[in-house]
Amino acid sequence: MKKYLINTSGCQANELDSEKISWVLDTMGYESTQDKEQADIILFNTCAVRKSAEDKVFGQLGELKELKRRKPEVILGICGCMMQREDIREFFLSKHKHIDLVFGTNNIHKLPQLISRQIETGKTIVDIIEDTREIDENIDAHRKYSYKAFVDIMYGCDNFCTYCIVPYTRGRERSREPETIIMEISKLVESGVKEVTLLGQNVNSYGKTLHMDYSFPDLLKDINEIEGLERIRFMTSHPKDFTERLIQAYVELDKLSPHLHLPVQSGSNRVLKMMNRKYTREEYLEKINAIKERLPNLAITTDIIVGFPGETEEDFQDTIDLVRDVEFDSAFTFLYSIRDGTIAAKIEEQVPDQIKHERFQRLLDTLHPIGLKLNQKLLGTIQKVLVEEVSKNDSRVMSGRTESAKLVHFPGGEELIGKIVNVRIDNVKTFTLEGEMID
Ligand code: 5AD
Ligand code: SF4
């Protein structure tokens, strides 16, 4: 049997795309491997959000030159967000002549054709669909886990935050039909899935491209009705579209995880404006306070960018103050990375690297004690944990997540994977909880 290896970078959308690519390759009779020496196809599913991810893949491709010399029949491919950008694509193809196949985020369904064309001609095949309003519903995904799954509810993004390359790689926003999403989740639940994570760049604007009056809270309500499903999560939402109706959904829907990931990016109104985020720090805080009032046990997480062009010490202090006000459970923190083709890349006043790094460290020093303090509140509580896998550090310890998505370690065996168990929290750290399973 021929074998394939997929190397995935980036966000959950890319992880799910890799599961879709796996499914297509499985249907072609290929089998997955982790060993590049055994692989007949090696694919890099790339991310374009930050330059560092680009550099890493560039290096990894370079390392495969030698393998390709020894085994010229191996098909070496790159796909994903980076390949949607002509400038990056051309750069890669000009520097790495041993690449055989290039495709993008909109043509995974064409993979069988592209592979046969490559094998027949021996030439480098490049196939990109720049933008599309189409959604291909004939493609399934080879799910990595049996008990949890990502489900796309929409594609693309129309927000054009000035730092972000996503609207230029994943195209215009388009929503899947609710019936199709519900059918997919029902099938997943029948096969044993307990938790779904709904994916979209901005799930709060779900439904805008549908020709009916149906929005994200309606979708959540319908998914909540699916019998056998235990947990619903979603990623990611934009504060400008966060509504009272969504708060209501959190209150009413028993399966909706008490966790909100609401990327703020900056606490400074001046920077938020330059980022084209379309909300102020006051509006953000108002929305957070409104939901906290109704759901005191909600975990709140965010994304923050440090060193956006023109960010002053005062702007950065506004971010620190906002972090203290909100008290985030945790945050994904990013050093601003220049992405050619975006509006922010043209701003001349870039923040020097040293200042960026120093601010980044101060941000972490602010976030971590807050995270620890919030975790300490959970000491002695009983948490419902979906057991995910054997801990990476100790084979006698299991890892899982609470309803609010916090990582928990506790002693247990592999037979618990995929089950929801009660764990008493006995010890907490900044990023993890520890405890004991109880009946
Ligand atoms: N530089 C740094 N971080 C970025 N993000 C998006 N674009 C950039 C960039 N150019 C971050 C944002 C977004 C997350 C997925 O990645 O915080 O929410
Ligand atoms: Fe990028 Fe902004 Fe769209 Fe998120 S909402 S994908 S940050 S443009």
Q: Do domains 143-257 and 263-377 have the same CATH topology?
A: yes
- Kindly state the average pLDDT of the residues 126-150: 87
What sign does the dihedral 169-174-175-176 (CA atoms) show?
negative
Q: Which CATH architecture has domain 3-127?
A: 3-Layer(aba) Sandwich (3.40)
- Kindly state the average pLDDT of the residues 20-48: 96
Give the DSSP letter string of 307-370.
--TT--HHHHHHHHHHHHHHT-SEEEEEE----TTSSGGG-S-PPPHHHHHHHHHHHHHHHHHH
Is pLDDT above 90 for 139? no
Q: How far apart are CA 162 and CA 142, in angstroms?
A: 35
Q: Is 167 in the pocket of ligand 2 (CB under 6 A)?
A: yes
Q: Are strands 195-199 and 148-152 parallel, antiparallel or unpaired?
A: parallel
Q: Is 20 in the pocket of ligand 1 (CB under 6 A)?
A: no
pLDDT of residue 131: 74
As beta bridge partners, residue 369 has none
Burial class (CB in 10 A: 0-12, 13-18, 19+), 123: exposed
The answer to whether residues 92 and 80 touch, using CB atoms and an 8 Å cutoff, is: no
Q: How far apart are CA 439 and CA 276, in angstroms?
A: 50
Give the model confidence (pLDDT) of 56-80 as tens digits: 999 999 999 999 999 999 999 999 9
CA of 49 to the centre of ligand 2 (A): 10
Taking the domains of the chain in order of start, what are their residue ranges? 3-127, 143-257, 263-377, 382-438
pLDDT of residue 337: 95
CA nearest to 131, candidates 108, 105, 149, 113: 105
| % of the chain surpassing 90 pLDDT | 93
Task: Indicate which ligand has the atom closest to the C-alpha of 263.
Answer: 1
- Kindly state the average pLDDT of the residues 163-178: 93
- Kindly state the average pLDDT of the residues 330-337: 96
Q: What is the CA radius of gyration of the chain?
A: 22
Q: Whose CA is nearest to atom 14 of ligand 1?
A: 303
Count of residues for the chain? 439
pLDDT of residue 386: 97
Give the model confidence (pLDDT) of 339-376 as tens digits: 999 999 999 999 999 999 999 999 999 999 999 999 99
CA angle 257, 260, 264 (to 5 degrees): 170
Tell me, which fold does domain 143-257 have in CATH?
Transcription Regulator spoIIAA (3.30.750)
pLDDT band at 136 (very low <50, low <70, confident <90, very high): confident
Q: How far apart are CA 82 and CA 53, in angstroms?
A: 9
CA nearest to 206, candidates 277, 158, 263, 144: 158
Task: Indicate which ligand has the atom closest to the C-alpha of 332.
Answer: 1
The answer to whether residues 104 and 80 touch, using CB atoms and an 8 Å cutoff, is: yes
- Locate the ligand 1 atom nearest the alpha carbon of residue 342 and give its number: 10
Pocket test for ligand 1, best of 275, 305, 330, 357 (most atoms within 8 A of CB): 305
Task: Indicate which ligand has the atom closest to the C-alpha of 279.
Answer: 2
CA nearest to 41, candidates 128, 109, 92, 114: 114
The answer to whether residues 241 and 202 touch, using CB atoms and an 8 Å cutoff, is: yes
Most distant CA pair in the chain, distance: 65
pLDDT band at 211 (very low <50, low <70, confident <90, very high): confident
Q: How far apart are CA 102 and CA 227, in angstroms?
A: 41
Q: Which amino acid is at 281?
A: R
Q: What is the number of helices (H) and of strands (E) in the chain?
A: 13, 19
Q: Which CATH architecture has domain 382-438?
A: Beta Barrel (2.40)
Q: Is 238 in the pocket of ligand 2 (CB under 6 A)?
A: yes
pLDDT band at 263 (very low <50, low <70, confident <90, very high): very high
CA of 374 to the centre of ligand 2 (A): 28
* Cα dihedral 128/134/137/140 (nearest 10): 30
Tokens found for residue 121: 């001609």
pLDDT band at 134 (very low <50, low <70, confident <90, very high): confident
The answer to whether residues 415 and 388 touch, using CB atoms and an 8 Å cutoff, is: no
- Kindly state the average pLDDT of the residues 417-423: 97
Q: Which amino acid is at 340?
A: D
Q: How far apart are CA 153 and CA 362, in angstroms?
A: 36
- CA distances (Å), origin 428, targets 155, 260, 297, 394: 37, 21, 17, 17
Tokens found for residue 166: 């996503």
Class of the CATH domain delimited by 263-377: alpha beta
Task: Indicate which ligand has the atom closest to the C-alpha of 302.
Answer: 1
CA of 41 to the centre of ligand 1 (A): 31
Q: How far apart are CA 223 and CA 237, in angstroms?
A: 18
pTM for the model stands at 0.93
Q: How far apart are CA 193 and CA 141, in angstroms?
A: 14
CA of 6 to the centre of ligand 1 (A): 24
- Kindly state the average pLDDT of the residues 281-293: 97
